[in-house]
Structure 1
Amino acid sequence: MTAPETEPAVLPPQETDFDVETLIIGAGACGMVAALAAREAGQEVLVLEADAAASGSTALSAGLIPAAGTRFQADAGIGDTPEHFAEDIQAKAKGENDQALVDALAQGSAPAIEWLAEQYGLPFSVVSDFDYPGHSRRRMHGLPTRSGQELVDRLRSACESREIDIICKRRVRTLFADGRRITGVIATRGDGGQERIGCRRLILACNGFGGNRKLVREHMPDIADALWFGHEGNRGEVLGWASQLGAATRHLGAYQGHGNVAHPNGILITWAVITAGGVQVNINARRFWNESLGYSEAARRVLSQSGGLAWTIFDGRIADIARQFADFKNAEAQGAIRQDATIAELARACGLDPDVLEATLTSLPKEGQDKFGRHFTGPTLTPPYCAVKVTGALFHTQGGLDVAPDGQVRGTDGTLFPNLYAAGGAASGVSGSADSGYLSGNGLLSAIVLGRAAGASQVSVQFER
């Protein structure tokens, strides 16, 4: 029997069943990275996870983390600096971000990647065969399968090796607080039973509110009817706690969309099929926007087309690049990717007008800018031609609790909570105020770098016995 869902609550301190130094809510990449950092700092750590296993939104992603100035970039001959990275983040978000947080994430990105590689054996490499929109350097770091599930699995193994307890099927909707000092939580089991757990410090790594349709409609109505491609556990408890605690929030209208989810298969198709030279057309076989702006903006653009659908068109050369991603190979295995020797044959297989699609593709410039403002370089599309039917989706929210560069939560008056931290989707990220400010990898950037910073921060509040 599943416990009924209740509204987030904040109650006065109560007697607890047991106490821990650092309590973390959420066992996605953010929560597990925070746990590893806290354990290295000598803290007693407990992680609570609502699901039956550690997973979170990370497992649904490609698991790519942007970082600037790593040895992996150097090995690939890529020159980069945190300053360049910070400039790219702010440029994409039109300067709407907290500069101190941007700088902290950019500066902390390479150390975080190399820490995970050296201390925990994560075999990162740089995606070096195509560019991501908005990044002036190739700085996306991923594991061999280019899969978020692999990232989750390796982080879970690292936690197990350090004897960090991750207790699953524990949903937290109630906090205990003495003013601004968090003293504990109520964790509800799947059978409805409850455990009262005291803590010296609480880290919120429970992601955002994309799975709460009411909150999505309130804060981002333009994407409210899109396919939800994130984790259903993202219910937005942090917003309820914030209003009761007097914690500040920031950029609640910000989100990461994606306009390249295979329909009806529900499989993420890497944006490499676009950046390497592909395009999107509607059911009339005509292009309808500048695809180089980014995959987050693509969600609304695709959803605005008839039926909320489009076709992404590319070729065999680009498919070879995309096959480094497990999701793309899965889409091929399920028959979501169409391939034909001619444009006319591909059009007929997709139910598109062959003459119109031929005109659309042959009019693409070999070099220079088209009427939508997209700049083309490199090889043109050649046989065999490929296509996949796609729709737009909401992947995760980017707004949340306003935090200092180490993840410490700010109150509405600007002062800091003494022992409350947030990272990943629970905290406001660096994607500006809407969808267009999202720079590829911003979600995992905040999860990994801010999660590590929050975990490493020292506990300063003592238990009251």
Structure 2
Amino acid sequence: MSKTQDINAGRRQLLKGGMVMAAGLGASMALPATASCDSAPVSFDEIVDVLVVGSGFAGMSAALQARESGVKVMVIDKMPVFGGNSTINGGAMAVAGSPLQKQAGIEDSVDAMVADMLRAGRGMNDVEMLKLVCNGTAESCQWLIDYGVHWKPFVQHFGGHSVQRVLQTVESSGAGIIRPLIKAARDKGVIMKNQTKLEGFVKDDAGRVIGVEVREGFYFPNERTGKIRRIGARHGVIMATGGFGRDIEYRMMQLPELNSDLDSTNHAGATSEALKQMMLIGANPIHLDQIQLGPWASPDEKGFGTASQFNTIATYPHGIVVDVRTGERFFNELADRKARADAIMTRRDEKGQPVYPIGFTNAAGASKAQTLDWGLKYKVISKAETLDELAKIYGMPAKALKAQVERWNEAVKTGVDKEFERPMQEAIVLDKGPWYAVRMWPKVHYCMGGVKVNTQSEVLHLVSNKAIPGLYAAGEATGGIHGASRLGACAVAEGVVTGRNAGRNCAAASAVALKQA
């Protein structure tokens, strides 16, 4: 096999079981017989300086940052709509040292945010990359504002964070970030191509990634659609392709229990083929079995839905969650996501079937929940005038429920939760209705695992642990930053900061001369 061969242009189903590691050992090893290898082209159909694959937080941040350096940038995405999971994300970003924190008198620091993320990650985090992200949040927050992102005028307290440090877009959606970034990118001349699916990488004689092979005019999920073209990248390729939460087959290879019975908050295109393509040229995959479940989701709707935002902004900071069989709390509602999801998943009957817990708060607690009306309309959220009525709706023991609320109110008054040691900064007394409640059950939400990168956002090789020349990655496509569990609102932080880091470093990399057809 010539060094100039495109070693991962395979367009068939690859990487079953042990083949994953065998194929990822590098260009010097023979590929599995099922892999397809095409000769590298001597010319490209189109050439840019920086090519970004993926158009979410990381991709658009990388593209804009690279374009600020004056290089020619292209963004490709396999889906018909740009933005991916980022568009349907809740639009919340953890920022250490934001102006809003200072206005509210909230003391915070980069070190405190690092410590919180390390605690949530069970110490498995890549500390250097973690520090890079936390150090970049305040400056990147202002960078987003400069591009037209608008934050709500208050700071929120998400589970696992020691203080209130979460900012959220006025839209309560990641679209409030993606739309301004896409507009700015287009205004600055970034080339945007949708329905363009990555098929493989093109490498030169020295083993450097110099471009990609794609299918233009691709109609997801029909793998046979589109026309094969090759796009060159003089400075490098940035992979910002997200996670694989919707790829049931591949996620089950990592965690068999995450089968089709478990819904996902991800969009349909959150699959594993881009990750596999990086692994085929030797990228080191880490923490692939660390897959996060969102503890704020509801079984009464598909995908991300309305309950997620309601629970995040209302139930968890201002309410409580109880077991319907006892009417009592059973975990710390402001623990990190893994702790909460694990606790909820234990609520099962004698046959192992889910017994959905109920999260609820009152009108005061739900005052800032923008999805409340939608949740009521679609019967995901229920309204009750009294606790007796609430207990009747969900079949809970009313006496026990009211006793639990009384204990909770006493904890709020003393400022100490003796039952589960929950942080009480935003706790409120639940003394009167109306009450708003939702059934809860986790959904597959985020992949902590991906390819390993260094602090220059260069993808590292499995064997040599050296950078694969010309290949960069950012956002959820990478692994290690979050360890075993990502704290809420840290996906936007990671995506924007690492995306900008990748864009900056890729744009500054030495360019290679390429030929156009």
TM-score for both structures, normalised by structure 2: 0.82
Cα-to-partner distance string for 1:398-432 (whole Å, 9 max, x where unaligned): 11110112311111221112211100111114221
- Spell out the pairing of 1:43-62 with structure 2 (5 A cutoff): 43-62=71-90
Instruction: Check the 8 A contact 1:100/1:405 in 2, yes or no.
Output: yes
The 1:228/1:278 distance shift into structure 2, 3 A limit, reads: same
Equivalent residue number for residue 175 of structure 2: 149
Moved more, 380-389 or 289-298: 289-298
Kindly state the Cα deviation for residue 137 of structure 1 after the two structures are TM-superposed.
3.0
Residue number among 499, 506, 514 corresponding to 1:451 in the alignment:
499
Residue number among 104, 119, 131 corresponding to 2:132 in the alignment:
104
Moved more, 44-53 or 240-249: 240-249
The 1:23/1:102 distance shift into structure 2, 3 A limit, reads: same
Kindly state the Cα deviation for residue 62 of structure 1 after the two structures are TM-superposed.
0.9
Kindly state the Cα deviation for residue 277 of structure 1 after the two structures are TM-superposed.
3.6
- Taking the aligned partners of 2:458 and 2:113, their CA distance within structure 1 comes to 23
The 1:463/1:332 distance shift into structure 2, 3 A limit, reads: farther
The 1:396/1:386 distance shift into structure 2, 3 A limit, reads: same
Equivalent residue number for residue 206 of structure 1: 241
Instruction: Check the 8 A contact 1:60/1:148 in 2, yes or no.
Output: yes
Identity value in percent: 24
- Spell out the pairing of 1:161-176 with structure 2 (5 A cutoff): 161-176=187-202
Task: Tell me the SS of whatever aligns to 1:292.
Answer: coil
Kindly state the Cα deviation for residue 353 of structure 1 after the two structures are TM-superposed.
3.3
- 1:244 matches 2:277: no
- Taking the aligned partners of 2:106 and 2:96, their CA distance within structure 1 comes to 10
Equivalent residue number for residue 193 of structure 1: 227
The 1:136/1:126 distance shift into structure 2, 3 A limit, reads: farther
- Spell out the pairing of 1:170-185 with structure 2 (5 A cutoff): 170-178=196-204, 180-185=207-212
- Which protein is bigger by CA-based radius of gyration? 2
Kindly state the Cα deviation for residue 12 of structure 1 after the two structures are TM-superposed.
4.8
Aligned length: 454
The 1:211/1:12 distance shift into structure 2, 3 A limit, reads: farther
- Taking the aligned partners of 2:48 and 2:143, their CA distance within structure 1 comes to 25
- Taking the aligned partners of 1:137 and 1:276, their CA distance within structure 2 comes to 12
Cα-to-partner distance string for 1:169-204 (whole Å, 9 max, x where unaligned): 111132222364112212212243222111121000
The 1:23/1:380 distance shift into structure 2, 3 A limit, reads: same
Residue number among 313, 332, 353 corresponding to 2:360 in the alignment:
313
Residue number among 42, 45, 66 corresponding to 1:38 in the alignment:
66
Equivalent residue number for residue 22 of structure 2: none
Equivalent residue number for residue 290 of structure 1: 332
Instruction: Check the 8 A contact 2:360/2:438 in 1, yes or no.
Output: yes
Instruction: Check the 8 A contact 2:124/2:480 in 1, yes or no.
Output: no
Aligned-residue CA RMSD in angstroms?
2.4
Moved more, 179-188 or 75-84: 75-84
- 1:255 matches 2:291: yes
- 1:358 matches 2:402: yes
Task: Tell me the SS of whatever aligns to 1:318.
Answer: coil
Instruction: Check the 8 A contact 1:259/1:301 in 2, yes or no.
Output: no
- 1:232 matches 2:283: no
Kindly state the Cα deviation for residue 245 of structure 1 after the two structures are TM-superposed.
1.2
- Taking the aligned partners of 1:376 and 1:40, their CA distance within structure 2 comes to 43
Kindly state the Cα deviation for residue 257 of structure 1 after the two structures are TM-superposed.
1.7
Equivalent residue number for residue 486 of structure 2: 438
Instruction: Check the 8 A contact 2:59/2:75 in 1, yes or no.
Output: yes
Instruction: Check the 8 A contact 1:208/1:235 in 2, yes or no.
Output: yes
- Taking the aligned partners of 1:78 and 1:300, their CA distance within structure 2 comes to 30
* Matched residue type, 1:293: A
Residue number among 292, 311, 322 corresponding to 1:281 in the alignment:
322
- Taking the aligned partners of 2:418 and 2:104, their CA distance within structure 1 comes to 32
The 1:59/1:5 distance shift into structure 2, 3 A limit, reads: farther
- Spell out the pairing of 1:364-375 with structure 2 (5 A cutoff): 364=408, 365-366=410-411, 367=414, 368-374=416-422
- Taking the aligned partners of 1:334 and 1:121, their CA distance within structure 2 comes to 32
Structure 1: any 5+ residue segments left out of the alignment? none
The 1:6/1:301 distance shift into structure 2, 3 A limit, reads: farther
- Taking the aligned partners of 1:71 and 1:104, their CA distance within structure 2 comes to 20
- 1:419 matches 2:470: yes
The 1:85/1:312 distance shift into structure 2, 3 A limit, reads: same
- Taking the aligned partners of 1:80 and 1:289, their CA distance within structure 2 comes to 26
Instruction: Check the 8 A contact 1:419/1:460 in 2, yes or no.
Output: no
Equivalent residue number for residue 341 of structure 2: 299
The 1:151/1:253 distance shift into structure 2, 3 A limit, reads: same
- 1:217 matches 2:267: no
* Matched residue type, 1:197: I
The 1:72/1:371 distance shift into structure 2, 3 A limit, reads: closer
Cα-to-partner distance string for 1:423-453 (whole Å, 9 max, x where unaligned): 0111114221x3xx32122221211000011
- Taking the aligned partners of 1:439 and 1:42, their CA distance within structure 2 comes to 35
Moved more, 32-41 or 207-216: 207-216
Instruction: Check the 8 A contact 1:13/1:184 in 2, yes or no.
Output: no
- 1:160 matches 2:186: yes
- Taking the aligned partners of 2:11 and 2:341, their CA distance within structure 1 comes to 30
- Taking the aligned partners of 1:139 and 1:360, their CA distance within structure 2 comes to 29
Kindly state the Cα deviation for residue 320 of structure 1 after the two structures are TM-superposed.
0.8
Residue number among 161, 166, 181 corresponding to 1:135 in the alignment:
161
Instruction: Check the 8 A contact 1:76/1:126 in 2, yes or no.
Output: no
Instruction: Check the 8 A contact 1:12/1:177 in 2, yes or no.
Output: no
Equivalent residue number for residue 432 of structure 2: 383
- Taking the aligned partners of 1:81 and 1:26, their CA distance within structure 2 comes to 31
Task: Name whichever structure is richer in strand by fraction.
Answer: 1
- Taking the aligned partners of 1:72 and 1:355, their CA distance within structure 2 comes to 42
Equivalent residue number for residue 402 of structure 1: 452
Task: Tell me the SS of whatever aligns to 1:186.
Answer: strand
Kindly state the Cα deviation for residue 11 of structure 1 after the two structures are TM-superposed.
5.1
- Taking the aligned partners of 2:55 and 2:37, their CA distance within structure 1 comes to 22
- Taking the aligned partners of 1:86 and 1:246, their CA distance within structure 2 comes to 30
The 1:78/1:126 distance shift into structure 2, 3 A limit, reads: farther
TM-score for both structures, normalised by structure 1: 0.90
The 1:170/1:463 distance shift into structure 2, 3 A limit, reads: same
Equivalent residue number for residue 40 of structure 2: 13
- Taking the aligned partners of 2:63 and 2:275, their CA distance within structure 1 comes to 23
